[in-house]
């Protein structure tokens, strides 16, 4: 499978992780790539961003078109994974939909994890289920890139989602809790990578499994608007600490004093586009695709243009680091 799988993960919620995955999926599509967005967050917020209410109701009443439907036979013991249903958002942009029922998989994924050490085939099939669902989706869609949205926790679902991933992007916010989340995430992240490599030494010879490389591509800082109750000095303090915290806790390297502006692991510093969010939600499109008919006029339209350029640069940077060549869409 040539299309890299890139996960967006931070165990701290509210840092804009889902919004980042959603906007990058649309940007890669706009750049001419074939994209699959995969929703592995039990809250299914990425799915809700792509679909209208009628589409969401259909999915929740019938899980056969979600990630849960694809892994259900394996978990029930009636078979292995079934062919996933990939939803067409646009030609070239696809969604492997999330499901609120996904949370029910947590216990099974946790229970099977230690059984991999004993070389049990079913344990490997369960732990690798997400990866083995994504692979046929990539072939069917002839995808160039896969973007995975994960929930904000360090549970078994996210462990399986990360094992399925080739690369990881960490969204951050410049505040104490986001950095604390980074401190928790980094060591656990490295431990999962090591533990999976250990389990692979007992793998069934005839079963294809993910390598679990989980290579860190870098971090994206999503700026919050500076509130009156948060002084600018405090905001600047957290911003200044991000490069060192990422290097120490995620990469397990000493901090060399590199500032954020010079940090090669800093993929982007994205502005807050708060005024555009309601328009984008109403129009059911990313903020950089808003038009005057959606209400983006004057300063709002200028912000749309700025957002498009910011996400374009970020998409190109991530693609370069992940080894993806993007054909420019002709239009």
Reduced to 3 states, what is the DSSP secondary structure of residue 299? helix
Q: How far apart are CA 15 and CA 286, in angstroms?
A: 17
Q: How many helices (H) and strands (E) does the chain have?
A: 12, 8
pLDDT, tens digit, 9 for 90 and up, residues 201-245: 999 988 999 999 999 999 999 876 555 445 567 778 888 999 999
- Domains detected in the chain: 5-276 (3.40.50.300)
How high is the pLDDT of residue 181? Answer: 86
How high is the pLDDT of residue 276? Answer: 87
CA 117 to the chain's CA centroid: 28
How high is the pLDDT of residue 228? Answer: 45
How high is the pLDDT of residue 232? Answer: 64
Indicate the pairing of strand 5-8 with strand 145-150: parallel
Give the closest residue to 158 by CA, choosing from 87, 214, 119, 202: 214
Residues of the chain with pLDDT under 50: 228-229, 330-331
Contacts of 107 (CB under 8 A, 6+ apart): 156
pTM as predicted? 0.94
Q: How far apart are CA 240 and CA 172, in angstroms?
A: 13
Contact between 139 and 109 (Cβ < 8 Å): no
How high is the pLDDT of residue 224? Answer: 62
pLDDT, tens digit, 9 for 90 and up, residues 272-299: 887 888 888 888 899 999 998 888 888 8
How high is the pLDDT of residue 13? Answer: 72
Q: CB 211: neighbour CB atoms within 10 A? A: 12
Contact between 8 and 22 (Cβ < 8 Å): no
pLDDT, tens digit, 9 for 90 and up, residues 116-138: 999 999 999 999 999 999 999 99
How high is the pLDDT of residue 207? Answer: 92
How high is the pLDDT of residue 330? Answer: 43
Indicate the pairing of strand 266-270 with strand 5-8: unpaired
3-state secondary structure 90-106: ECCEEEECCCHHHHHHH
How high is the pLDDT of residue 167? Answer: 97
Kindly provide the b/e burial profile for residues 60-98, where b requires at least 16 CB atoms within 10 angstroms of the residue's own CB. Answer: eeebebbbbbbbbebbeeeeebbebbbbebeebbbbbbb
């Amino acid at each position: 499978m040539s299309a890299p799988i890139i996960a967006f993960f931070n165990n701290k919620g509210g840092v804009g992780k889902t919004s980042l995955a959603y906007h990058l999926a649309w940007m890669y599509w706009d750049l001419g790539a074939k994209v699959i967005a995969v929703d592995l967050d039990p809250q299914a917020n990425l799915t809700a961003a792509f679909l209208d209410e009628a589409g969401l109701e259909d999915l929740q009443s019938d899980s056969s078109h979600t990630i849960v439907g694809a892994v259900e036979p394996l978990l029930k013991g009636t078979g292995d994974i079934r062919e996933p249903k990939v939803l067409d958002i646009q030609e070239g942009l696809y969604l492997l939909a999330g499901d609120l029922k996904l949370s029910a998989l947590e216990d099974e994924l946790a229970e099977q994890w230690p059984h991999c050490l004993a070389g049990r085939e079913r344990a490997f099939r369960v732990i690798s289920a997400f990866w083995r669902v994504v692979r046929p989706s990539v072939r069917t869609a002839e995808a160039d890139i896969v973007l995975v949205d994960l929930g904000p926790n360090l549970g078994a679902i996210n462990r399986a989602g990360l094992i399925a991933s080739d690369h990881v992007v960490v969204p951050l916010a410049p505040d104490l809790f986001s950095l604390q989340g980074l401190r928790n995430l980094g060591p656990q992240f490295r431990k999962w990578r090591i533990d999976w490599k250990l389990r692979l030494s007992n793998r069934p010879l005839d079963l294809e499994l993910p390598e679990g490389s989980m290579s860190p591509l870098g971090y994206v800082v999503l700026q919050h608007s500076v509130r009156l109750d948060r002084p600018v000095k405090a905001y600047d303090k957290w911003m200044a600490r991000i490069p060192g915290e990422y290097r120490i806790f995620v990469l397990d390297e000493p901090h060399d004093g590199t500032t954020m502006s010079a940090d090669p692991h800093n993929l982007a510093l994205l502005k807050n586009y708060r005024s555009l969010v309601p328009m984008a939600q109403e129009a059911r499109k990313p903020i950089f695709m808003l038009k005057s008919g959606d209400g983006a006029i004057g300063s709002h339209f200028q912000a749309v243009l700025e957002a498009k350029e910011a996400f374009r640069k970020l998409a190109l940077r991530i693609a370069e680091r992940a080894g993806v060549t993007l054909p420019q869409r002709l239009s």
